[in-house]
Amino acid sequence: MSDTEQDDTKRRQRARFVDALTKTAQQPGDRSRVGTKVAGAAAVLALAAGATMGIGAWRSYQSDQDSKEKLALKEAAQQRRIVPSSPSASASASEKPAEKARTAEAPAAGSGAAVVAAPTREAAPSPSSSPTAEDSPSPTAAKKSDSTVNRLLAAGHSRVLLKNVKSGMCADISGYGAGKVNGYVMQYYCDGSAKDNQLWSMVVRRAGKGPGGADLVSFINVKDDLCIDLPGYKGLSPGWGLVEGVCNTATADNQEWWLDPAGGGTVRIRNLASGNLCMEVKDDSTQRAARLQLDKCGTDADSRWIVLS
């Protein structure tokens, strides 16, 4: 073998040795570092994905919370009681809500009226400055009384039911016992028994002092001796709800009503102080527990009542 061949063989051996050493030295460390890098990258990706999912979940939760709050505010706004302004500075009208409790089912025959949730106080417009011609019957029309009105007033009935012609329900108050001052007057299934509180004493306060010589009367609840009333002392405009109030016979109050014959044994019950506006059911409702209020008198059944004695 020549010197050249020997040198070439030695170089190849050294190269193989160096290559083997390099592979042996690099294999554990390099693979470990690559694994660490891969694991680190995976962890970073996992954290990024988790953060994205977390933000998405938080946004979804926040959206649900916002929706619930908006719904709650909307419901509260719908249920919020709007108290109308007092008709005058001298009027003393306390606007306390009634505590009505009646069930949703109709009462059985011969039983007291069932108990349902009280309706909320409705908004009422400000008092009008003067009554319209529609609401102010002429004295001639007022004098056209019929036998029904004469019979009712002459007898001095102490126990009557006020039955609305359209709904067939009677003027009623909270629960079964005595009502409260400013408690709402509403309509409910008629029950003329002593178990309920729908009976009213119709008392003549000022005979012949109404339009056309009509008698002015008060309706006094038999169980609590409170009168069908309006807030304050002055005349009010359409939309004001009827309440119970302490009967006032010493001063000119807005508790005085008069019966306007409407034909067929029915009457319109008009409020003297409020320009002869009529006692009606809010929104012409035929639903139980609907509020009674002042409204313009019309020819429809909603503004007509039957006084049952």
At 72-108, the pLDDT tens digits run 344 334 333 333 333 333 333 333 333 333 333 333 3
- What element of type H or E holds 66? helix 3-79
Indicate whether 128 and 251 sit together in one domain.
Answer: yes
Indicate whether 11 and 155 sit together in one domain.
Answer: no
Is the pLDDT at 209 greater than 90? The verdict is yes
Indicate whether 66 and 109 sit together in one domain.
Answer: no
Indicate whether 123 and 180 sit together in one domain.
Answer: yes
Pick 252 or 28 by higher pLDDT. Answer: 252
CA angle 245, 261, 191 (to 5 degrees): 50
The phi, psi pair for 59, rounded to 5°, reads -65, -40
**Is the Cα torsion angle 110, 286, 235, 120 positive or negative in sign?**
positive
Indicate whether 136 and 60 sit together in one domain.
Answer: no
- 3 state SS of 262: strand
Is residue 144 domain-resident? yes
What does the pLDDT read at residue 72? 38
Token reading at 70: 């908006």
- 3 state SS of 228: strand
Is residue 90 domain-resident? no
Is residue 40 domain-resident? yes
Is the pLDDT at 138 greater than 70? The verdict is no
| Residues spanned by the domain of 11 | 1-80
**Is the Cα torsion angle 223, 168, 281, 301 positive or negative in sign?**
negative
Distance CA 15, CA 10 (A): 9
Structural domain count, the chain: 2
Distance CA 270, CA 142 (A): 11
Is residue 95 domain-resident? no
Q: State the DSSP code for 197.
A: S
Pick 99 or 163 by higher pLDDT. Answer: 163
Has this prediction a pTM greater than 0.85? no
User: Domain of 192: which CATH number?
Assistant: 2.80.10.50
Q: Averaging pLDDT over each range in 3-7, 191-195, 227-231, which range is the top one?
A: 227-231
Distance CA 278, CA 55 (A): 61
The backbone region for 132, taken as left when phi is positive above 0, alpha when psi lies in -120 to 50, beta otherwise, is beta
What does the pLDDT read at residue 13? 75
What does the pLDDT read at residue 9? 75
Is residue 216 domain-resident? yes
Is the pLDDT at 149 greater than 50? The verdict is yes
| Average confidence score pLDDT of the chain | 71
